[in-house]
Amino acid sequence: MGEIQPEVVAHPSADEIDDAVVYLKGHEKEALDSPVNLRALRRKIDRRLIPYMFCCYVLQFLDKVMLNYAAVMGIKKDLGLVGNDFSNVATWFFIAYLIAEVPNVYFLQKVPPAKWLGGNVFLWGVAAAASSGARGYRSLLAARIFLGIFEATVGPSLMLISSQYYTRSEQAPRFTVWYMGLGVAQIIGGIISFGFQHVHHALLDSWRIMFLVLGLVTTVVGGLTFFFIPDTPMKATWLSDNEKVALLQHVSENQTGVWSANLNLKQIREAVLDIQLWLLTVTTILISVSSGVVTTYSSTLIAGFGFSGPISALLNTPSGIVSIFFTLLVGFGIRRTSNRWAWNILCTIPGIIGGGLLSFLPKSNKAGVLIGIYLVNAIVATLPILYQWTMANCAGHTKRAFASALVAGSFSVGNIIGPQTFQSHDAPEYRPAKIAVLATQAAAALLSVVLFFYYKWQNHRRDQTKSGVDAADQTRWAGLTDKQNHSFRYVY
């Protein structure tokens, strides 16, 4: 690819200027005032942001996985679902999710991510509640499609919000905390399903009440998110001017910017041609195939052992414990040691073992197959790694928005493939689906190694140039992409 030329720091054009630059220029004297305790500032930001982000992620998984629990609550019989109808309903959610990522790139550049997130959370709560009124395959399908459209922004929005307030090393544990909502949702989802299955003689079926209640709760959280997460750090009313300046100076080391509403088409072109993004995308797809299996069919697999619906729901709750354990392990491990590629591989190992147990143990070995189902959930922890890795290594306002939507969209691709590996003619063993889990995890581990060597090579090439501290200082707010900014160094 040739030598990297010595860096020439260009002045940012009007469409590249970050809003943080404008704010800092207007508050130059605050930078000279009393110093701010960054540790206390981080705790303050955590208290104001993380609870909303955590609740949004809990609910996005709950509202999505309720279909999994409804499968053992009689939804197939009540709505007359036959053949692959159930798989198709699960798949079309993610097709809608994927399609919606295209306009997301635009809206995440034009609308503050917190506002876009809050509005969509409210609307997906409406769609989740509307699922309770389904009268057949088509009406359920329509409700799930709308749910997919509105949920599509949750990953990209949370990624962008996190990157506005924290440095690259600080982002990993914060991504972990809000992403841990998935494991919490797995636990309480099973308990919620168990509880609603004991609702008898009501005017509505138990699964309908479950959809309605969770949908209404989601609309409330969406409204709170819309009004209480600020558009940008500069608009946070609960931060003083001194704190805002200190925060912006602190996160400037990311060299990724904070916020700009200008859409830069050149950055989209660069992203499309960026090999690192496609490696991250394919890795996410491979990881998400297993996620699609876990999300849609874990209760069905457990019920296949002959357990009743309520017991199947409860037996699914340990999956959440596995998810939480590995999510916490890698989140705080990355904060201390970096090595995202190694942590990614670490989580695929239990996934590979779980896939092997699912694929090759006889169905009569209930304990072994259950352990396999639980172990597969370790791969859930790889997704926050990939999300944070993407945000840490993509600079430029438009490129970051595009990258977040692309990786979130690739998550939906894997989840489209996952449920489709469950074909009705393979019941009750579903052997091809189980083998797919094993194979995709092994391939994801291999690509993590490829990413490691790619980033090492890129950093080595950049180290041959003369870009020093002064150049890095000049490019902190220049709105440059990681390719344009030769003082940028990739994390791995």
Mean pLDDT by 10 residues, the chain (492 residues): 41 62 76 77 95 94 83 87 85 89 88 94 95 92 94 91 88 87 84 81 84 95 96 92 89 75 87 95 90 66 74 80 90 85 92 83 83 86 90 88 90 80 71 80 93 94 68 59 87 90
* 238 and 309 together in one domain: no
C-beta neighbour count of 118 within 10 angstroms: 23
387 and 459: one domain?
A: yes
Q: Which of 214, 230, 254 is the last residue of a domain?
A: 254
Q: Which residues of 318-354 are buried (b: 16+ CB within 10 A; e: fewer)?
A: bbbebbbebbbbbbebbeeebbbbbbbbbbbebbbbb
In 71-132, alpha helices (H):
75-79, 85-110, 113-130
Q: Give kind and range of the element (H or E) at residue 402.
A: helix 397-420
User: Are 346 and 210 within one domain?
Assistant: no
Residues 6+ apart with CB under 8 A from 169: 334, 335, 338
Single pTM value for the model: 0.80
Number of separate domains in the chain: 2
Domain presence at residue 77 = yes
> Is there a domain that residue 4 lies in?
no
Task: Please compute Rg for the chain using Cα positions.
Answer: 23
The pLDDT assigned to 165 comes to 92
Among 457, 332, 400, smallest CA distance to 162 is for 400
In a domain, 425, yes or no: yes
CA–CA dist 100, 184 (Å, integer): 26
Residue 199 shares a structural domain with residue 304: no
Say whether both 327 and 187 belong to one domain: no
Q: What pLDDT is recorded for position 475?
A: 55
For residues 199 and 285, state if they share a domain. Answer: no
104 plus 224 within the same structural domain: yes
Alpha carbon 150 to chain centroid distance?
14
pLDDT given for residue 31 in this prediction: 57
Same-domain status, 239 and 322: no
pLDDT of residue 5: 40
**CA-to-CA distance for 185 and 191, rounded, in angstroms?**
10
Return d(Cα 388, Cα 174) in angstroms, integer. 9
- Domain assignment of residue 164, yes or no: yes
10 within some domain: no
**Could you tell me which residues come within 8 angstroms of residue 492 by beta carbon, excluding any fewer than 6 positions away?**
338, 339, 340, 341, 451, 452, 455, 456
What does the pLDDT read at residue 420? 73
Same domain, 328 and 392: yes
Do 210 and 312 fall within a single domain?
no
> Exposed/middle/buried for 482, CB within 10 Å: 0-12, 13-18, 19+?
buried
* First vs last C-alpha separation in the chain: 21
What is the DSSP annotation of 356-388? HHHHHS-TT-HHHHHHHHHHHGGGGGHHHHHHH
pLDDT of residue 349: 92
Task: Respond yes or no on whether the N-terminal peptide bond of residue 318 is cis (omega within 30° of 0).
Answer: no
Q: Are residues 51 and 200 in the same domain?
A: yes
The pLDDT assigned to 16 comes to 59
User: Domain range spanning residue 350?
Assistant: 264-463+478-491
Among 195, 219, 254, residue at a domain's last position = 254
One domain, residues 415 and 354: yes
Residue 218: CB atoms within 10 Å: 28
